[in-house]
Amino acid sequence: MRVLTLNRGRSRLNLSIEPILEQRGVEFHHIALDEVQRPSGSKISQKLQSYFSRQAIRSIRAAVDEFRPDLVHVMAGRSTALLAVQALRSRPDIPIVLYHGAIGGLNVASPIEWATYFNSRIAKIAVPSHALVNNWLGRPLLGKLIGADRLSVLPHPVEVPERLDDEARAKLRAAFGLKPDDIVIGSVCSIRPVKNLEFLARVVRDIGSPYKLLIIGGGDAGEIEALEEIGGDSIDVAGFRPGAAKLMPIFDIYATPTRPAGESFGLAPAEAMAAGVPVLTMNYGGTAEIVEHGVSGFSLTADPADWAASIVQLQDPDVRRRMGEAARERIQQRFSPEIIADVCEELYRLVSARNAVHT
């Protein structure tokens, strides 16, 4: 099977599953459209060019003629999807798969949405969670326009790292100024209102010692200041850190209280689980699908008392250890690169087979 992938930059399908699929006989050819088209002029002109670039359309058509793909996988973006639709207008034999990662809704009044998401020329829309599917299909008009049969769930692959030994973990925690007896509740994210970190800061502050809240991520200075004012001595905002997935073992508990509709998947919480850290999440969104309530963490209401009770329950190191191991096993069994490669391969075969029947 041959798959032509389209994206704005050089990022590929996924560095962890693409080699697995290649070993199974899938051939990939990638086009980075930002390297093909060179928008110029005003911002409005550049925006229009991103949707209707002749250079990009020609490049896609040339790649199709030379590579002869069985399908085209659009990695993300309305503009990229629209370019693919235009380039393949005369090739109904080649199906298009569009990946969509954000949980937000679509605009039924947008002509771009009608040309892409609501266009049957897009054979499948792949999304990272059932929560996103339910969010769309739960809106009658939107669900009708998209069609349930055009949606497929393709979760993010999550690699399970080697376990960090106690000495290495202690050094990592010390680098953040953490004491050995601190119970560290962590979150890795951009600091913005939708992440609901003020809620978490209040919960941790009200519980008190030995709990500490450590936020890894950057954001607006005003929002960080407000967060630190709420949390007081119980909070530390460490700023952005590259490779944050490697820092997950410093946490005793990971918390993600994102506001509705929640995360589309929850990659950072999944990475924490892979590192053996139990996770607290709201009981909606993609993260609630990953966390098994009472097994690998807790899926909670928005009541601060529920969060406080769960945090106190995790004060017992044996409980944290047991849930952390269950979290790690959950990721290995459901979201490892090998498992997600299976899901992606099945999606490709389904789309190709269905298209062969209809052409």
On whether both 95 and 172 belong to a single domain, the answer is no
Nearest one of 107, 132, 115 to 51, comparing CA atoms: 115
Q: pLDDT tens digits, residue range 294-347?
A: 999 999 999 999 999 999 999 999 999 999 999 999 999 999 999 999 999 999
Task: Give the pLDDT score at 174.
Answer: 96
On whether both 259 and 310 belong to a single domain, the answer is yes
On whether both 341 and 327 belong to a single domain, the answer is no
Task: Give the pLDDT score at 102.
Answer: 87
3-state DSSP helix/strand/coil percent for the chain, to nearest 5?
A: 50, 15, 35
On whether both 183 and 301 belong to a single domain, the answer is yes
Gap between the Cα atoms of 345 and 24, Å rounded? 9
On whether both 93 and 147 belong to a single domain, the answer is yes
Q: How many domains does the chain have?
A: 2
On whether both 42 and 144 belong to a single domain, the answer is yes
- Average of per-residue pLDDT across 179-202: 97
**Domain enclosing residue 216, as ranges:** 166-334
Among the ranges given (9-13, 44-48, 311-315), the one the predictor scored with the smallest mean pLDDT: 9-13
Among the ranges given (31-35, 182-186, 210-214), the one the predictor scored with the smallest mean pLDDT: 31-35
Q: pLDDT tens digits, residue range 139-184?
A: 999 999 999 999 999 999 999 999 999 999 999 999 999 999 999 9
Under 8 Å between Cβ of 236 and 266: no
On whether both 44 and 69 belong to a single domain, the answer is yes
What CATH number should be reported for the domain holding residue 75? 3.40.50.2000
- Average of per-residue pLDDT across 268-273: 98
Task: Give the pLDDT score at 213.
Answer: 98
Write out 113-151 in H/E/C secondary structure.
HHHCCCCCCEEEEEECCHHHHHHHHCCHHHHHHHCHHHE
Residue 278 has pLDDT above 90, yes or no: yes
133 pLDDT tier (thresholds 50, 70, 90) = very high
Residue 137: count of CB within 10 angstroms of its CB: 16
On whether both 32 and 81 belong to a single domain, the answer is yes
Under 8 Å between Cβ of 37 and 55: yes
- Average of per-residue pLDDT across 55-64: 96
Residue 98 has pLDDT above 60, yes or no: yes
Burial class (CB in 10 A: 0-12, 13-18, 19+), 246: middle
Residue 99: count of CB within 10 angstroms of its CB: 21
Task: Give the pLDDT score at 359.
Answer: 57
Q: Which residue has the tokens 């029947």?
A: 357
Put simply, whether the predicted model's pTM sits higher than 0.85 gets the answer: yes
Task: Give the pLDDT score at 358.
Answer: 58
* pLDDT: which is higher, 280 or 76: 280
On whether both 185 and 82 belong to a single domain, the answer is no
On whether both 91 and 77 belong to a single domain, the answer is yes
Cis peptide before 261 (omega within 30 of 0): yes
76 pLDDT tier (thresholds 50, 70, 90) = confident
On whether both 233 and 350 belong to a single domain, the answer is no
On whether both 37 and 129 belong to a single domain, the answer is yes
* 9: helix, strand or coil: coil
Q: pLDDT tens digits, residue range 103-128?
A: 877 999 999 999 999 999 999 999 99
Task: Give the pLDDT score at 10.
Answer: 66
Residue 46 has pLDDT above 70, yes or no: yes
